[in-house]
Amino acid sequence: MTNASHVSTLIKEYAVELGFDIVGIAPATRVPHAEAYMAWVEAGYAGDMSYMARELARRQDPRFLLPEARSVVVVAVSYFTADPPVALWNDPARGRIARYAWGWDYHDALMPRLRQLAAWLQQHCDDPVSWRAYVDTGPLLERDLALLAGLGFIGKNTCLIHPQWGSYLFLGELLVSTELAYDSPITAGTCGRCTRCLDACPTGALVAPYLLDSRKCISYLTIELRDAIPEALRAPMGNWIFGCDVCQSVCPWTRRFARAGRQDFLSFEPARCIPSLLELLSMDEAQFHARFGRTPVRRSKWYGLLRNVAVALGNWGDPAAIPALQHAAEESHPLVREHAAWALRRIRNGRGVFVR
């Protein structure tokens, strides 16, 4: 089988069979926002995510990762399931977890399917095929590759937005040495004059259209940051304890077009997606791993999640949280103790959202 167009059609069909919702193919070439990315890193917007500043040259072109690469098959899976019940979602006694973490780790779910896709291509090409697969782990500017493959446009919230799916999308890439038929970037869809994401960001992390200061982003603060959360940013975090979906949830494209896809590893369950803050604060490290060890929440680490929970309890402001916070302020990890003490001061000063 040698016809590039025919092979490309078949590989897309097989990708859909494997459970991917959207598939596109881009040339293995230098990505369009390489210079902007380097400027972003140099400006310090990556914060403590030192891995994003490593191998900058390799991020500019997928051929640095696979020299013989000719094509990149880009896949996307919608992680929209359903909107949670409003009463639960707005309950300040519960901690919000970002949608993508409402179940098993997406890396574990998507990587085997990319390997199957690579194996299929190897079996159906006359010449040997070299390949490498990535799911949000390698030094790739994957949104740029998705842009080139026709999977959407980059929004002012810096997310990839597909005009028919919105932005709740997992991305994966398969670099292959085979010359395939390439898709074109889409021309339909822009943000226009809309600034809802910038206006809604609780911490002002979107410092300008298309520019995110990670150091202020709630996702960064609750997941990537290993130290104390800056005090000025704690109150705006509300009850987010792992990640944040605000800039996506207000986007008109996502509000109108987000829909459930073929994924089978996420679902809304209150105890997992918006759990009781007091219940979480009582967890020891073993209980944390038992509960979250196979989910993306494990990335925050036990003490990081409890740090976030303490902040959310302070923002709740209910005196009912005082006993648990006092215990955490005396017995827990040093980072948790600091944030528990802050939460206690906030509650005693009557600065939370709790109303009797």
Q: Where are the beta strands (DSSP E) in 66-161?
A: 71-78, 96-97, 131-134, 153-154, 160-161
CA distance linking residue 275 with residue 107, whole number of Å:
23
The catalytically annotated residue of 48, 61, 127, 136 is 136
CA distance linking residue 140 with residue 154, whole number of Å:
16
Burial bucket for residue 138 (CB in 10 Å: 0-12, 13-18, 19+): middle
The total of other beta-carbon atoms located within 10 Å of residue 262's CB is 12
Say if CB 161 and CB 189 are below 8 A apart. Answer: yes
252 SS3 class: helix
340 SS3 class: helix
Burial bucket for residue 349 (CB in 10 Å: 0-12, 13-18, 19+): exposed
Tell how strand 96-97 and strand 240-242 pair up.
parallel
Task: For 208-233, give one letter per residue: b (16+ CB within 10 A) or e.
Answer: eeebbbbbbbbbbbbbbbeeebeeeb
Separation in Å, CA 188 to CA 97, 161, 192, 210: 32, 11, 11, 18
Concerning whether 136 is annotated as a catalytic residue, the answer is yes
Query: Sign (positive/negative) of CA torsion 334, 335, 336, 340?
Result: positive
Burial bucket for residue 71 (CB in 10 Å: 0-12, 13-18, 19+): buried
Q: Nearest-CA neighbor of 183 among 218, 148, 157?
A: 148
Kindly list the catalytic residues.
Answer: 136
